[in-house]
Structure 1
Amino acid sequence: MSEYHVPVLLEEALEGLAIRPDGTYVDCTFGGGGHSRAILERLGAKGRLIAFDQDEDAARNVPPDERVIFVPQNFRHLARFLRLHGVPEVDGILADLGVSSHQFDEEDRGFSTRSAGDLDMRMDQRQTLTAAQILEQYGEAELHKLFERYGEVTNARTLARKIVEVRKVMPLATIPGFMQAVQGVVKGNPKKYFAQVFQALRIEVNDELGALKVLLEQVPGALVEKGRVAIITFHSLEDRLVKQFFKSGTWEEQEEDTNPYGRQKTASPLEVITRKPVLPSEEEYKRNPRSRSAKLRVAAKK
């Protein structure tokens, strides 16, 4: 497990979940199983863990434990598979939204700027859309919007225009080929620039923000009263979604705030436990630099 992925904010997440030995918990992003194993250590014989992961590599890490149900699907299907397994409500839900170290380190997955492989970036190898296809098929306006919204790339319009120009004369299929082809429009620190570009492509390939919104909408109905949800995010786009939903229970907060008729906002079904996000300690950051941007937020069902 440690070679696959080092779990981030482990103790903080477990504390946030307030685990009961006989409870039922969901790990939405099983990965290397680090968070799941720690949950299992706190569960008794009657406790249960339901683990989701769309990456087929993660299935190899599932422990031989009768208390574990592994679901090889995206967590956007949470409610559906809880029903299929006869679990109407659970005591806690955990989601670590970061890309695993394993995925970054596997060159053929195409997640890392250091890779010499193809521009793939699929979390679920069963889906067809890849990063290379986005670069080849999306129009200039679509690419501009993608890089600006999901990567906060400063010159997103210029980058989009460059991609459209380059792909007329050469394919943009590999990571080194793509980075070399757009080198002339890179602004600022190249490492940071391409990290933002790759983040945008990865989010689009896997519909990460869409899946997160679908998950959050299902959380209140999936939790028992006082049950808890703990979500670890790694960039501001995710964190804003989690913060807003925990606070208001809706995506329409702004519209309701400005309603001229003074319509009352619907009360959130969740109570925020962490008023401010929990960050990794200095010790954890030194031990695992990839934890640097992690933020944990916890809420409980009212």
Structure 2
Amino acid sequence: MKSPTYLITASLLFTLGLATPTTTLSKTPTRSNDGQQYQLRLLHTSTPSSPSSFRTTSSRIGIASQQQESTKGGALLTSDDATSSFKQIQTTFLIPQAKIPTRGPTANQTTILYASSFHIGIDSFSLLCPSGFLRAGVDIFYDGTLGDPSLQKPQAWYQLYPSDPSVFPNFTVAEGETVRVTVGNTEVKIENFGLNVTCVNGKIPKQVSTVKIDGKGVCGKEAGWIVEDFPLAGLPGIPVALADFGSVRFGGVSVKSGGEEGGIEKNAEGATVSDIWVEAQGGRLTSCEVGMEGGEVRCDRVFE
């Protein structure tokens, strides 16, 4: 087994054989003290994803041989035009419910935090752009010690790196609601269409939050639809236990590029795919694929 990249409680670590019985950890870092009592926070710190961990979408052959530590899964589309760059990426998805896994090393641990993050971005997958990246999405949580579901609300956030992430102003979301996220080099936007919405075409969102940005320094060579296992605030570099989210479907995927001759729009057809793989949590944790002729990216939570 590789060196441990997963750390949550002493009892769980000892169960996994990754720590001695004397190890102690405080749960305090799982919650921030920013005026909202017990508001859960993830630390949106990503590590580069090696292109060698990607696989093509034409076949599932070889998935089990990935075996490379990665806290990111999803689809990556690379610009093949040296004269243009991605200017905007968009998707619509229903926010999944965070549940306790019932299988694997992190199963049935009611005293620890589980979380998952779903986001899209420009240059935020491989992190190869030296000047930064753009991304936005939603985090979900489950912490059995809190009891009150209102303390575990999903968070909608955005980031223009190297600036710190921020929550969308005056915007709230809940599990089961459908959101549309747009990330561009002049603004980021999130729209909430509410519960039980399967198609947003022609519908008026019940809530919208838009933030103007200056993303001219972003390279625009990669577009990604991503599921990620982020660390907790206060525990950098250590992914939390990935929640059982069932599946997430990034629908209506599109990416716009522009150049001197004008821009074009396309979907995720031809994108490469990777999965979250954390040995200490059981190995491969997601099964992602591009479907609907590039019109959607789907990631299922798996247990191996």
Q: What is the TM-score normalised by the length of structure 2?
A: 0.29
Structure that is richer in helix per residue: 1
TM score, norm. by length of structure 1:
0.29
Structure exhibiting the larger radius of gyration computed from Cα positions: 1
Which has the larger strand fraction?
2
